[in-house]
Structure 1
Amino acid sequence: MKSLLIAGKDVKILVKDRKALLMMIVMPIVLTAILGSALKGAMGGGGMPETVLGVYSNGANAWATSILRSLEDEALAITVEQASTEKQLHEWMEKGRVDVGVLIPSDWGDVSGEGRAVILPVAGHGSEATIIRQIFDTYAMTADAIAVSTELLMTEAATISAAGGEVDVKALHDGLAATLQSIANEPRDYVEETSVGEQSVSAMQYYAAAMAAMFLLFNAMTGGKSFHRERQTETMTRLMMTPTSVRSILAGKFIGTFFFAFFQFTIFMAVTHYLLKVDWGTNSLQTFFIAICYCIAVSGLSMVMAVFTTDEKMADVVGSMGVQVMALLGGSMLPLSVFPEALRNIALLTPNSWALTGFTSIMSGTAWSALWLPAGTLLLIGSIGTLVGSFRLKLHSL
């Protein structure tokens, strides 16, 4: 009960602080609108940028071998990486090692016409995926036309020769032209495009998730400053003189940070959904589940901020710098897919990168099983932060 009273007091102070509300709620909404609109066409570049294409073929296929050889042309600026399994290809996509993935079935190019290559765009690389699809479609149409026309030509010539007659070159030419024209006009799909989930993530969606992940981090700084503010005003000393235990005080601070962070996310999600038309995914339970896990991580980090800074000013400086560094490394400023592999590995150490991964996965339509890793990592960060903060605060008797 005492913990809830302490938490309620902290939340009340933050809600009454207009500067804090402007910084924590209004600013991320404005930045989401600006970045999402301005970078809508830039999150895949223009023309044909350097593209890393991940390919998995589940069997020997003449078409696949031929087109992959063609894609190695330096003029196309495409680097082809062949995965040994479909699972490996998806792992490359999740880690941002490839920009576009392609699954080529063993029956692609068969006379049945049922086999289709599947294009899998990575978030932020929609234009590259479109270009890759066009390349595969054009190649398939051309190869199919050549195969059919050649078969027709050889069959006709063999029939005429077997009958002892002469081959009519003009008739073969006209038949070949008619066949090529009919194949070119036939509405047949050789390639299909899909996303890792059920749908792709737009620039507006990505930056909504990125700004939420970034600005919720500021609660770690705010929670740390709250500890120092109460020390300076001797509120903490007066609390210690009451029957309130150290555990209750720590729990109250943790709960206060958690509630304000969750309140901030809920307001941000509602405003971006209704005002900016951001689709946070079809499963709101998944979104709030990741949000709760992230708020726990942020609350744990606020404990670390409190015990490893000496005063409110230091907490402000260290917190601001820390948030900016983690925002840059964690993909809140630029998509992780544009980073080199070394930086993508470092990003795994930042809590906002895991929250961003969870939110964007939900937006693309993912199963619960795909959320256990980011959720578990966020809970681990929160638990470690809370334990470290609690131990150090108790050690120094506040």
Structure 2
Amino acid sequence: MKSLIIAWKDFKIRFTDRKGFFMMIFFPIILTAILGTALSGIMAETSLPKTTVGIVQPDNDAIAKIFVDDVLKGKDLKKLVSVKKVKSENELKSLLRDEKIDAGISIPKEWSGNLQDGQLKQVKLLTDPGKELNGSIIESVLQTFVNRVEITSSSTKTVLTASAQTLTPVGMQNLASELTSSLNQLAKQNQGYVQASSIGKKQVSGMQYYAAAMAAMFLLFNVINGAKSIINERETETLARLMSSPTSKLSILAGKFLGNLYFVVAQFTIFLVVTNLLFHVNWGGNILQTGLIGLAYSIAVSGLAMLFAAIMKSSKTADTVGGVGVQVFSILGGSMIPLTIFPKTMQMVANIAPNKWALSSFIDIMAGTTWNTLTTPMIVLLLIGIVSIMLGTWRLQVK
């Protein structure tokens, strides 16, 4: 009970502070409006990225081998596309969700089985909503190959059929006309033999991306502010006097953690509601998913604040080190620049940033995702919070 009283007291102090309110709630909303409006097109204007495509190739079909070995792995695309062989379509989807590949192609058995009719069997193309450019590259390569194979098959069949007859000059003219008509018809035909789908149900807009990015970044600032609150009380010996009271140390530290947690949850809730009402940001069709990821991230941030307070000796040091740290994590975690622009190595390094797990989860939810996709980031965020709380409580000094 005493921990709840301490938590509520800390929450009211921070929430009613005008400067803190402006910096932590009003400012991120303004920044979201600026970035979401002015920079939303940047995500689609970058140079062609290196694309990793997963391939499900169930047999040694001749056309499939040509496509994989001579096209995707050919000299023209080797600098742009790398191929990863995958055993099943389920594994393909799993790799996409884990961002280990940028697009996936599932080739059916006996892909060229219907080629005598001028058509290839349907291919399934899977893409990531957050990597639209990568998906477009692979779709273009695949569709171009399919068209060429079908046109070649159809024109060859036409020539062979016509050649079986005695070709007079008039026959030659008719053959040329038939070939031209056939080629034009196939070239203009609707691309119906590639079935494109996404691991998410919707595309994410620039405004949605930067709303999620600013939420992840500014919630991270509570690591500094929460830690400074504890450090200030330690420097003024308020914490020492509190510890000398009948209240147990565990209750006091729990109150400090909960006070920061209350503020982070309130900040996220206000930000979510305001961006939805003012900028019509759609945070996804499942508000429970958004809320649980937001809560898990809030626990991680509040736990890190406890650990940071235990490590830092003064408010000035906390301000300097924490400010630099938050900016580094903001860039590394994709809050400034979309992660898809980063090299693969940097994307792997980004996993150390807690805001990366929150941001990628918010984007997945906006696109429409399953609970299975959110399991890993939720566990990671909760572990960050729990481990930080344990270490912070153990290391925290009263004086």
The answer to whether TM tops 0.5 is yes
Please state if 1:250 is matched with 2:249: no
2:151 is equivalent to residue 145 of structure 1: yes
Structure 2 counterparts to residues 206-355 of structure 1, below 5 A: 206-355=209-358
| Aligned pairs (5 A) from 1:46-85 | 46=46, 49-59=48-58, 60-68=60-68, 69-71=70-72, 72-74=74-76, 78-85=80-87
Q: Distance in 1 between matches of 2:37 and 2:85?
A: 35
Residue matched to 2:123:
117
Which aligned pairs between 1:161-176 and structure 2 lie closer than 5 A?
A: 168-176=171-179
Is 1:132 matched with 2:138?
yes
What's the CA shift for 1:303?
0.6
The Cα of 1:104 is off from its aligned counterpart by 3.0
After TM superposition, give the deviation of residue 186 of structure 1 in Å. Answer: 3.8
More displaced 10-residue stretch of structure 1: 12-21 or 168-177? 168-177
Structure 2 SS opposite 1:307? helix
Q: Take 1:273 and 1:78, find their aligned partners in 2: how far apart are those partners?
A: 38
Asked if the contact 1:45/1:127 (under 8 Å) is kept, the reply is no
What displacement does 1:123 show? 4.7
**What SS is found at the alignment partner of 1:106?**
coil
* Amino acid in structure 2 at the alignment position of 1:150: T
In structure 2, the residue corresponding to 1:132 is in which secondary structure? helix
Query: Does the Cα contact within 8 Å between 2:7 and 2:257 map onto a contact in 1?
Result: yes
CA distance in 2, matches of 1:178, 1:320: 67
SS in structure 2 at match of 1:242: coil
Q: Which amino acid aligns with 1:54?
A: V
In the TM superposition, what whole-angstrom CA distance separates every residue of 1:233-265 from its partner, at most 9, and x where no partner exists? 333233223211111111111111111101111
Structure 1 residue 392: deviation in Å?
Answer: 1.7
Supply the distance in 2 between the matched residues of 1:296 and 1:169 (Cα, whole angstroms).
Answer: 78
Letter in 2 for 1:18: R
Asked if 1 retains the 8 angstrom alpha-carbon contact of 2:71 and 2:77, the reply is no
Q: Which amino acid in 2 is paired with 1:8?
A: W
Distance in 1 separating the partners of 2:215 and 2:25 = 9
Contact 1:96 1:337 in 2 (8 A): no
Q: How far off its partner does 1:81 sit? A: 1.5
Q: Is the 8 A contact 1:83 1:89 kept in 2?
A: no
Using a 3 Å threshold, how does the CA distance of structure 1 residues 332 and 7 change in structure 2: closer, same or farther? Answer: same
Cα gap change, 1:93 to 1:153, in 2 (>3 Å): same
Give deviations 1:292-311, integer Å, cap 9, x for gaps: 11111111111111111112
Q: Which amino acid aligns with 1:362?
A: I
User: Are the equivalent residues in 2 in contact too, given 1:101–1:122 (CA < 8 A)?
Assistant: no
**Counterparts of 1:114 and 1:266, CA distance in 2:** 51
> What is the alpha-carbon distance in structure 1 between the residues aligned to residue 30 and residue 62 of structure 2?
52
Could you tell me how far 1:337 is from its partner in structure 2? 2.4
* Contact preservation (8 Å) 2:310, 2:392: yes
Match of 1:34 in 2: 34
Offset of residue 220 of structure 1: 1.2
Aligned-partner Cα distance in 2 for 1:144–1:341: 36
Question: 2:5 aligns to what?
Answer: 5
- State the Cα deviation string for residues 318-374 of structure 1 (Å, max 9, x = none): 221221121122222222223233322222222111112221221221111111111
Distance 1:296 1:42, change over 3 A: same
Paired letter, 1:342: T
1:187 corresponds to: 190
State the AA in 1 paired with 2:57.
Answer: N
Q: 2:365 aligns with which of 362, 366, 373?
A: 362
Instruction: Tell me if structure 2 keeps the 8 A contact 1:201–1:360.
Output: yes
Seen in structure 2, the aligned counterparts of structure 1 residues 335 and 179 have a Cα distance that, compared at 3 Å, is same
RMSD of the alignment, in Å? 2.6
| Amino acid paired to 1:145 | I
C-alpha separation between the residues in 2 aligned to 1:196 and 1:124? 10
Distance in 2 between residues matched to 1:397 and 1:127, nearest whole Å: 53
Distance 1:266 1:174, change over 3 A: same
Q: 1:174/1:342 Cα in 2 relative to 1: closer, same or farther (>3 Å)?
A: closer
CA distance in 2, matches of 1:371, 1:97: 16
Match of 2:390 in 1: 387
Which runs of 5 or more residues in structure 2 are unaligned? none
Is the 2:54–2:101 contact (alpha carbons within 8 Å) kept by the matching residues of 1? no
Contact 1:228 1:312 in 2 (8 A): yes
In structure 1, what is the Cα distance between the partners aligned to 2:135 and 2:344?
21
CA contact (8 A) 1:261 1:295 kept: yes
Structure 2 length normalisation: TM-score?
Answer: 0.88
Q: 1:2 Cα shift?
A: 1.1
Q: State, as a whole percentage, how many aligned pairs show the same letter.
A: 41
Aligned partner of residue 125 in structure 1, secondary structure: helix
